[in-house]
Amino acid sequence: MTATQPAARVGRADAARTVQAFLSANDPATMSAVEFLGRRFDAGLAWVHAPRGSGGLGWDRGLQVDVEQAMEDAGAKPADILRNPIGLGMAAPTVLAHASSDLKERLLRPLWTGEEVWCQLFSEPGAGSDLAGLATRAVRNGDEWTIDGQKVWTSYAHIAKWAMLLTRTDPTAPKHKGMTYFLLDMSAPGVHTRPLRQATGQASFNEVFLDDVRISDAYRISDPGSGWSTARTTLVNERAMIGGFEPKREDGHMGRLAEMWRNRPELRTGERFGTVVDAWIRVEVARLANERTRQLMTSGEPGVEGSGAKVTAATNNQLVTRVLARLDPSAALDYDDWSIGNDARVRPETYHYVRARAYTIEGGTTEILLGQIADRILDLPRELKLDPNLSWQDIPK
């Protein structure tokens, strides 16, 4: 296979030879995860469908599954989704789809290796579920934009190097047509982050204040006023990522419940039996159904299916934690495999149960996502809404 070989001619056997040649020259056991991932990116084996120089080889998207399996068989650690979930799950597909070649070259490699963490500056105090109602203002001054506003509920903002930023650039346009999408360096002057203490004791969410922040027009990744279409790329990948995050049977919370059930026969009585079996079946059905969502994520084309996966994941997550609490409150409230925001003030005895409440809000509230499913999949009558041609500045606030 040559460097100029068309993607259509690259088959599974060709891909396997390429991966094995890479592994022969790059033993994951002899280098750090960051170094190995960097070399993997340079070889085009991060996202094989991406262009050369952007972590890919221009191959068919479906070959990514084969690459991941070969890497796992060789003992290579994958990109750390727990360290940089917003970067890998949401920023990467957005940058690949919409950013300039220069931005792809600058941003994608350290995103992939986990050296630069990302966050998402979308939600605002007055525009959470109604994201298109956001008010953060961006005003153009020659080759720069000046940003003023406030964002909220921003995971990872306290450690992020980069952010996806959605702004209002034309308040006279309808709310979905007056937004513009930027990539923001979180170390820029005027960016201020303040943690929000959660019920779990963590402070992994943040408020972010943008005061006279200057962004070069080179970091704009949508046409002025067309940020909503770019934001949809981010949002569908976010929902698919949350909903399709646990691909293995009895992963996560369900694994804890199953282990308790098998190791403690005194719990297997009466109503408890039906409750646990019902939870197991629901989680397993969702896992199998979500395989399609994960395939769409691999292809870079998740749609409304991601909304369904996210709703189901949130509902099942809360169901399993409730069952755990009923069976054994002490076990249900014990949680020690932290991923972000851990500090001395965290109360691990309450985290497991309390954190499950957030999944029906983050990544799109359940009510909003059910509305999308009703509208776009079931073709049910739409809810009454404001005139879509009404300018943002004229909407009652």
For residues 304 and 246, membership in a common domain is answered with: yes
- Please, which pLDDT band fits residue 337 given cuts at 50, 70 and 90? very low
CA neighbours closer than 13 Å in the CB half-sphere of residue 325: 14
Quick check: is 110 in a domain? no
Joined together, the tokens standing for residue 24 give 């022969």
Residue 297 has pLDDT above 70, yes or no: no
Residue 165 to residue 220: CA distance in whole angstroms: 9
Mean pLDDT of 270-281: 86
How many distinct structural domains can be found in the chain? 3
CA neighbours closer than 13 Å in the CB half-sphere of residue 360: 11
For residues 264 and 185, membership in a common domain is answered with: no
Mean pLDDT of 213-233: 97
Mean pLDDT of 42-54: 95
Predicted local confidence at residue 26, as pLDDT: 97
Q: What is the DSSP letter of 87?
A: I
Q: Between 368 and 383, whose confidence is greater? A: 368
Give the residue numbers marked as catalytic. Answer: 238
For residues 218 and 252, membership in a common domain is answered with: no
Quick check: is 190 in a domain? yes
Domain of residue 13, residue span:
1-78
Residue 337's domain is classified under what CATH number? 1.20.140.10
Secondary structure of residue 126 in the 3-state scheme: coil
Q: What is the DSSP letter of 30?
A: G
Quick check: is 346 in a domain? yes
pLDDT in tens, 80-92: 988 999 999 999 9
Closest CA to 65 of 307, 240, 236, 291: 291
CB atoms within 10 A of CB 152: 20
| β-strand pairing of 162-168 with 118-121 | parallel
Quick check: is 371 in a domain? yes
Of 201, 225, 249, which residue constitutes the final position of a domain? 225
For residues 205 and 240, membership in a common domain is answered with: no
Quick check: is 83 in a domain? no
For residues 258 and 213, membership in a common domain is answered with: no
Tokens 């952007």, residue?
Answer: 54
Residue 150's domain is classified under what CATH number? 2.40.110.10
For residues 122 and 196, membership in a common domain is answered with: yes
Quick check: is 87 in a domain? no
Of 225, 244, 277, which residue constitutes the final position of a domain? 225
Residue 311 has pLDDT above 80, yes or no: yes
For residues 136 and 204, membership in a common domain is answered with: yes
Quick check: is 351 in a domain? yes
Residue 338 has pLDDT above 80, yes or no: no
Predicted local confidence at residue 243, as pLDDT: 59
For residues 195 and 285, membership in a common domain is answered with: no
pLDDT in tens, 158-167: 999 999 999 9
Of 26, 58, 78, which residue constitutes the final position of a domain? 78
Predicted local confidence at residue 224, as pLDDT: 97
CB 353 within 8 A of CB 324: yes
Predicted local confidence at residue 120, as pLDDT: 97
Predicted local confidence at residue 176, as pLDDT: 94
Alpha-carbon distances, residue 243 vs 65, 89, 174, 369 (angstroms): 19, 12, 31, 12
Alpha-carbon distances, residue 30 vs 19, 27, 71, 79, 361 (angstroms): 17, 6, 15, 17, 42
For residues 69 and 195, membership in a common domain is answered with: no
For residues 143 and 247, membership in a common domain is answered with: no
For residues 293 and 360, membership in a common domain is answered with: yes
Secondary structure of residue 360 in the 3-state scheme: helix
- Please, which pLDDT band fits residue 245 given cuts at 50, 70 and 90? low
Residue 234 to residue 229: CA distance in whole angstroms: 9
Q: State which of 186-200, 236-250, 270-284 shows the largest mean pLDDT.
A: 186-200
Predicted local confidence at residue 242, as pLDDT: 67
Q: Which residues pair with 182 in a beta bridge?
A: 165, 220
pLDDT in tens, 339-360: 444 443 444 446 677 888 887 8
For residues 221 and 239, membership in a common domain is answered with: no
Quick check: is 386 in a domain? no
Mean of per-residue pLDDT scores for the chain: 85
Residue 128 to residue 152: CA distance in whole angstroms: 9
